Structure 1
Amino acid sequence: MIHNISYRAFVYGTENQEKVESAIKTLFPTSSPQSEFTEGYFKNPVLILHDKITKKRELRDFVKNLDKLKDPDKKRIVNQLENKMDHKGNLFLRFDKQRAYLEDLKVVEHGDSIHVKIKIAAYPAKKEVALKIAREIFGE
């Protein structure tokens, strides 16, 4: 169903790194993110936490975690699948960092979030095939 999942989250100077890592654990309980320092627009330090999930068990755990999404969020994802997926079958979602810290998954559109890229296992690797599989994952 899923080949791999990549994610990244930005930790800004006003945020607590441990809290952002805790938010990530809500989505990916066994992930140990790598960190990378960069500089923001106003020369402020920004830490990027990122990882790539490839183990089948961890991928299944993520899909099970999606069951925590409320029905309106699931429907929103299904309704936006066409726009959230590229021609290679990569599905792009964003989860609210603050809500994830509170162990509540919420799909959002804003940038201050956990950015997730899901590579759908579609054969052949076409968007139409990946869309069908993604609809199954999200319970349509």
Structure 2
Amino acid sequence: MTSWPDDDVILYDGVCIFCSRWVRFVVARDSERRFRFTPIQSAYGTRLARTFGIDPEDPDTNAVVHGGIAWMKSDAALTVLSHLPGWGWTSALFAVPKPLRDAVYSLIARNRYRIFGKYETCFVPDADMRARVLE
């Protein structure tokens, strides 16, 4: 696996309404302010995506760098959730076979714009969250 020097960085699609809501969900629960964020449309996000084989023009996954390793699809979501206060129980979902978890993840990812919509430009975080965004 390829490693990355920054840790606990969530890569997300900044024009995807569902993805932006995911970021807000994490921010609201991350009382330790562990995670930082980067939209795939930023220079930093594009570089991170390309390093891990994600097409920045057509991303099919979010990712999180944790422990220096990029986790993708359902592994990324569960890694983030399981490190949020009160959400540790979600680590039990790693017991669900990865092909099944990723199939559900991919179904949602492929249809995210159609189901949830899309911003015209990248989601703009509030001032508190902006301090945690890497661009």
Same fold (TM over 0.5): no
Higher helix share: 2
TM-score (norm 1): 0.29
Higher strand share: 1
Q: What is the TM-score normalised by the length of structure 2?
A: 0.30
